[in-house]
Amino acid sequence: MNDSLEVIRAAIQTHSEFVCVAHQDADADSLGSALAFGEYLEQLGKRVSVLAPDPLPRSLAYLPGYSRVNQEPGSLDAVVAAFDAGSPSRFGNLRPRLSSAPLTILFDHHASNDGFGDLGVVDRQAAATGIVVLGLLRRWGAEITPAMATNLYAAVFTDTGGFRHDNTTAAVLRAGAELADLGADPAFVALRSYKWRPATTLRLQALAAGAARYELEGRLIWTEVTQGMLAEAGAEMEETEGIIDLLQSLDTMLCAVLFKQDGPQVTKVSVRTRGGLGAHQLVAALGGGGHFRAAGAEVRAPLAEVEATLLESVRAAVAAEAAP
């Protein structure tokens, strides 16, 4: 779904109140894009609230404007601008706001995007939703403040894994440079994104890495985070963020899978791939989605059941792939 930018701009001009919404388990791409776009709307004289589903990750507290998130619910007549999700199911406790809003505008880059929303810009080639938003703000001649630049830089930086994933193109690096010129501090964003872990997170990472299984000559690596491991580390579920990065650093891996026991009947899955395996295809049978290299799912079933189901199909897919 790609509506003309003029149609979207006209829709923005005719409304006075907006709610900018990040997705469940918000990341810097989703929340940074929502905060930057919210600031742009305020430049236009709009009333703006920025919302994120509970729980809002504390690790994003460095994003400018974080303290305003979820402070003002906004009116039910407000237009909803939604960021960085391919399906309305990704908005957790805020999902009813999307269906009741007079107008929903979606900004996204997921390969699995199902075209929800009344209006939207979905660029499946974009490395981040932050790139989509930056493109709009440029086209519309917005004044990009240092706070907006920092939010968009954090969006682009983290959705490229710190400019390391294969979506790190020359154009993405130029966008990073442009945002640095506009006031983003690359060293500060890098510090807070990848070098700023509480001890509980390190302990949890050690437990999860220690429990990792290596299969098919290391082409498949997977592990789990159980409620017991969280208790042992003194950690919250949001601290699982970096574990999939540990798994996917394995030299031999074609597929890395992390299973998270969110509750007795709720299991979350993260998948990363190399080579010809599409991560979003591997999680499709679980109702999940995402990108070619990174995808996830949330399943209403116990941990052991989800592990058994997904690992069976993943083993078959990995076994059919040539070694890297």
Binding flag, residue 108, Mn ion (CB under 5 A)? no
Token output for 152: 């968009």
Asked whether the beta carbons of 33 and 130 are under 8 A apart, the reply is yes
Q: Within 10-29, which residues bind Mn ion (CB under 5 A)?
A: 29
Binding flag, residue 241, Mn ion (CB under 5 A)? no
Q: Within 118-147, which residues bind Mn ion (CB under 5 A)?
A: 129
Sheet architecture: strand order including 255-263: 213-215, 220-225, 255-263, 266-273, 294-299, 289-290
Asked whether the beta carbons of 216 and 318 are under 8 A apart, the reply is yes
Greatest Cα pair distance, the chain, in angstroms, is 59
Closer residue to Mn ion, CB minimum distance, 160 or 223? 160
Binding flag, residue 298, Mn ion (CB under 5 A)? no
Least CB distance from residue 7 to Mn ion, whole Å? 23
Decide: helix, strand or coil at residue 154: helix
Closer residue to Mn ion, CB minimum distance, 34 or 269? 34
Binding flag, residue 159, Mn ion (CB under 5 A)? yes
Q: Pick from 111, 35, 25, 21: which is nearest to 73 by CA?
A: 21
Least CB distance from residue 43 to Mn ion, whole Å? 24
Closer residue to Mn ion, CB minimum distance, 28 or 269? 28
Q: Which stretch binds Mn ion (CB under 5 A): 92-100, 153-161, 247-255, 270-278?
A: 153-161
Q: Which stretch binds Mn ion (CB under 5 A): 34-42, 82-90, 111-119, 143-151?
A: 82-90
Q: How far, in Å, are 90, 171, 282 from residue 174 at the CA level?
A: 30, 5, 32
Task: Catalog residues that contact Mn ion under the rule CB under 5 A.
Answer: 29, 84, 129, 159
